[in-house]
Amino acid sequence: MRAGMLFPAMVVLWSGLAFGQTEVVEFSNESLRPRYQQLIEELRCPKCQNQNLADSNSAIAVDLRLQIQSLLEQQNSNAEIKSYLAERYSDFILYRPLVDRRTLFLWVAPIFFMLFAATAMVLLLRRQRRISDDPGNDPQIVISDADQQRLAQLLNTRNDRR
């Protein structure tokens, strides 16, 4: 192989190593792995904001994954781990915030918006039906006799010009 081809070949090989790295997590009990996977998918990265800990490669996400592994090894429950991390990093770390007095609006607001929209739609449909069913609401236009004579004159003068 020529010297000019050696550098690009090395770059390609090293880039594959850099992107192909996978974090290997060792557990004393393999039954902890599904819980670990569930937790890192349910918890948000504090730095990346719209990525969970499983998808993020930021330094804090790596640290949090190690911390979750350690807490699992200490036999903490999922609720205890989430509570501990929420205390340290605020409720923002939880993709599904807890239902309490501070977050009650987040949980109840969609129901109120749907009820409001359904009520508005029913009222508009009733109004539309009432207008269309009203016999006094004839779509024909009523023209007075004077206006009809004026219209006839205008049409006659127009026909005369042709």
Main-chain dihedrals φ then ψ at residue 29, nearest 5 degrees: -130, 120
Q: 64, 72 in Cβ contact below 8 A?
A: no
Q: Which domain holds residue 126?
A: 99-135
Residues 56 and 115 in one domain: no
Residues 31 and 105 in one domain: no
CATH code, 75: 1.10.8.640
The whole-angstrom separation of Cα 125 and Cα 11 is 67
Let me know if residue 55 belongs to a domain. Answer: yes
> How does DSSP assign 111-127, residue by residue?
HHHHHHHHHHHHHHHHH
38-89 pLDDT, tens digit each: 999 989 888 887 888 888 888 999 999 999 999 999 999 999 999 899 889 8
Let me know if residue 111 belongs to a domain. Answer: yes
The whole-angstrom separation of Cα 10 and Cα 31 is 40
Let me know if residue 66 belongs to a domain. Answer: yes
* Length in residues, the chain: 162
The whole-angstrom separation of Cα 162 and Cα 146 is 25
Residues 82 and 44 in one domain: yes
The whole-angstrom separation of Cα 39 and Cα 54 is 9
Listed residues 68, 93, 118: the one ending a domain: 93
Let me know if residue 156 belongs to a domain. Answer: no
86-143 pLDDT, tens digit each: 889 888 888 777 777 877 888 889 999 999 999 999 999 998 888 777 666 656 677 8
Overall number of domains in the chain = 2
Q: 27, 72 in Cβ contact below 8 A?
A: yes
